[in-house]
């Protein structure tokens, strides 16, 4: 039986962007329905980002989502940079008085799903055939199928929070979008392992063999990455090869030791920078990975998704309270100003830390000069600290 529903905002995608938007709108008394093609279990297990900027932590705290984050999140005041057999600590707290929190994206997702469902939210998991309609009118709609039935949501606005491979961005006529893109000649092989992380802060390691990153999820769970080919077959990386590459790239400068442990998750991520402009078409607003992608070296993807939906929820609040559209009209420009700052930072971190062309000794020496400068100049270190811990939200 075809069914029709009505809501103020239809949200496509239950990642951090879609779920947080639904939560923020709820706090402002605005109704929404969230559509997700995966199951609840799947989105709550999907291992992805781990670093929350200080503004993001503050927003989650201020909106009632900070309870488990406060208990289980790991507050970090700095990171390590490891290169040329030397290790340097950048102390964010000392440099700029700010910090970050390590807390898995899937934990944020679990907290959001729990808060939304407790508040009686309408989240539809395992939907299929999602399509958006009439976004250039003031009566847009979303259609989908669920358990074999067809449904239509009539709404005031559609939020496209469906990630890079979603349907919302491709629904915008391609001649209205400008795409800016860079593909990198490498990927990351990431593992989650049951072992003590080598350090209690993140280590970014630039090694002649390639980049490695040592992160964590808990005192006994390490999240580790090694640079690999972009189209790498994971079968080429048996456990021993992963541990050996991680050990070599960590080196001995920090006095750290890397203990092998059972690998409980593994995957390869291609690296890409991508921006679609504008982030709005009629009554469709894109947020998060649906509009932009950064390589993970700067730990910015999830944080940008949060900043977008904070700006969008404020704009929708103004509209529903007074009919004033000026914030909705400014949405794309306001987000993109911040998005481009994060693009620059993520591209710069990626360029500085990875192995590029094997034969380019000049390029390698430039990377090392940049790292030397960064770790010897307070001005340079402050710039990294400011961007890494997060530029201010422009909630305007
Ligand atoms: P998501 O999380 O991809 O969520 C989109 C959701 O939309 C659903 N969907 C649909 N639903 C209904 N109908 C359709 N047609 C649909 N098509 C798609 C999908 O199933 C999904 O549930 O996007 P969102 O919300 O914009 O969030 C973005 C973040 O997930 C992403 O930017 C980060 O994970 C990136 N990232 C990092 N970000 C950080 O801020 N800090 C980090 O430390 C960090 N590390 C990382 C990362 C991403 C990584 N990978 C795997 C790419 C480390 C890695 C390795
Ligand atoms: C992670 O913990 O997964 C992580 C941390 C920092 C990054 C990317 C990923 O830059």
CATH of the domain at 129: 3.50.50.60
The crossing angle, in degrees rounded to 10, of helices 378-389 and 361-374 is: 90
Query: Which residues neighbour 234 within 8 Å (Cβ) at sequence distance 6 or greater?
Result: 189, 266, 267, 268
What whole-number distance in Å separates Cα of residue 339 and Cα of residue 160? 17
- Report if residue 139 sits inside a domain: yes
Asked about 300 being catalytic, the answer comes back as: yes
Q: Evaluate if residue 149 carries a pLDDT over 90.
A: yes
pLDDT in tens, 27-86: 999 999 999 999 999 999 998 989 999 999 999 999 999 999 999 999 999 999 999 999
Centre of ligand 1 to C-alpha 160, Å, is 13
- Report if residue 388 sits inside a domain: no
Helix (H) / strand (E) element for 207: namely: strand 203-207
Fill in the DSSP letter of residue 72: H
% of the chain surpassing 90 pLDDT: 96
pLDDT in tens, 86-115: 999 999 999 999 999 999 999 999 999 999
> What is the residue-averaged pLDDT of the chain?
97
Range 247-253 average pLDDT: 93
Spacing of C-alpha 391 from chain mean position:
15
Q: Evaluate if residue 394 carries a pLDDT over 70.
A: no
Centre of ligand 1 to C-alpha 13, Å, is 10
The pocket around ligand 1, CB under 6 angstroms, is made up of 12-18, 35-38, 43, 48-51, 105, 127, 130, 161-163, 166-167, 188, 190, 269, 288-289, 296, 299-303, 305
Could you tell me which of 160, 166, 147, 143 has the C-alpha nearest to residue 5? 143
**Residue where the block lists tokens 């490695």:** 212
- Report if residue 317 sits inside a domain: yes
Q: Is 335 helix (H, G, I), strand (E, B) or coil?
A: helix
Query: Which residues neighbour 195 within 8 Å (Cβ) at sequence distance 6 or greater?
Result: 220, 221, 222, 258, 259, 260, 261, 262
pLDDT in tens, 225-248: 999 999 999 999 999 999 999 999
What whole-number distance in Å separates Cα of residue 162 and Cα of residue 43? 12
- Report if residue 378 sits inside a domain: no
Asked about 55 being catalytic, the answer comes back as: no
Q: Evaluate if residue 388 carries a pLDDT over 60.
A: yes
Asked about 296 being catalytic, the answer comes back as: yes
What whole-number distance in Å separates Cα of residue 377 and Cα of residue 382? 9
Total-model pTM: 0.97
Instruction: Quote the domain boundaries for residue 113.
Output: 3-77+100-180+272-356
Asked about 5 being catalytic, the answer comes back as: no
Centre of ligand 1 to C-alpha 1, Å, is 33
- Say what the pLDDT of residue 396 is: 55
- Report if residue 324 sits inside a domain: yes
Beta strands 78-83 and 203-207, pairing class:
parallel
Q: How many structural domains is the chain composed of?
A: 1
205 Cβ inside 6 Å of ligand 2: no
Task: Mark out the alpha helices in the chain (DSSP H runs).
Answer: 16-27, 40-45, 54-62, 67-72, 92-96, 105-118, 168-171, 239-250, 301-322, 326-353, 361-374, 378-389
Cα angle 138, 139, 142 (rounded to 5 degrees) comes to: 130
- Which residues are paired to 123 by β-bridges? 34
- Report if residue 188 sits inside a domain: no
**Nearest ligand 1 atom, CA 43:** 22
């Amino acid at each position: 039986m075809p069914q029709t529903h009505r809501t103020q905002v239809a949200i496509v995608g239950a990642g951090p962007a879609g779920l947080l938007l639904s939560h923020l709108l709820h706090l402002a008394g605005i109704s929404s329905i969230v559509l997700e093609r995966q199951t609840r279990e799947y989105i709550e297990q999907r291992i992805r980002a781990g670093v929350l900027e200080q503004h993001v932590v503050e927003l989650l705290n201020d909106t009632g989502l900070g309870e488990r984050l406060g208990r289980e999140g790991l507050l970090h005041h700095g990171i390590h940079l490891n290169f040329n057999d030397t290790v340097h600590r950048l102390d964010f707290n000392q440099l700029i008085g700010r910090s970050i929190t390590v807390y898995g994206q899937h934990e944020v997702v679990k907290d959001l799903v729990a808060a939304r469902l407790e508040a009686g939210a309408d989240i539809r998991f395992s939907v299929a055939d999602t399509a958006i309609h009439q976004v250039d009118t003031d009566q847009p709609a979303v259609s989908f199928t669920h358990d074999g039935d067809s449904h239509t949501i009539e709404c005031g606005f559609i939020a496209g929070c469906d990630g890079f491979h979603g349907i919302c961005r491709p629904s915008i006529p391609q001649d209205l979008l400008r795409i800016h893109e860079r593909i990198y000649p490498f990927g990351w092989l990431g593992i989650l392992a049951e072992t003590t992380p080598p350090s209690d802060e993140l280590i970014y390691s630039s090694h002649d063999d390639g980049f490695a990153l040592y992160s964590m999820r808990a005192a006994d769970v390490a999240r580790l990455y090694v640079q690999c080919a972009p189209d790498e077959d994971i079968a080429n990386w048996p456990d021993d090869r992963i541990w050996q590459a991680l050990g070599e790239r960590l080196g001995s400068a920090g006095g750290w030791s890397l203990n092998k442990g059972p690998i409980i998750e593994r995957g390869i991520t291609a690296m890409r920078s991508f921006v679609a402009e504008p982030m709005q078409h009629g009554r469709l607003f894109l947020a998060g990975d649906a509009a932009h992608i950064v390589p993970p070296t700067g730990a910015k993807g999830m944080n940008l998704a949060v900043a977008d939906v904070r700006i969008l929820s404020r704009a929708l609040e103004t509209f529903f309270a007074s009919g004033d559209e000026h914030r909705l009209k400014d949405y794309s420009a306001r987000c993109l100003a911040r998005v481009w700052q994060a693009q620059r930072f993520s591209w710069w971190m990626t360029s500085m830390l990875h192995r590029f062309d094997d034969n380019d000794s000049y390029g390698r020496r430039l990377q090392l000069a940049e790292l030397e400068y960064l770790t010897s100049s307070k001005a340079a270190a402050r710039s990294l600290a400011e961007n890494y811990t997060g530029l201010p939200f422009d909630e305007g």
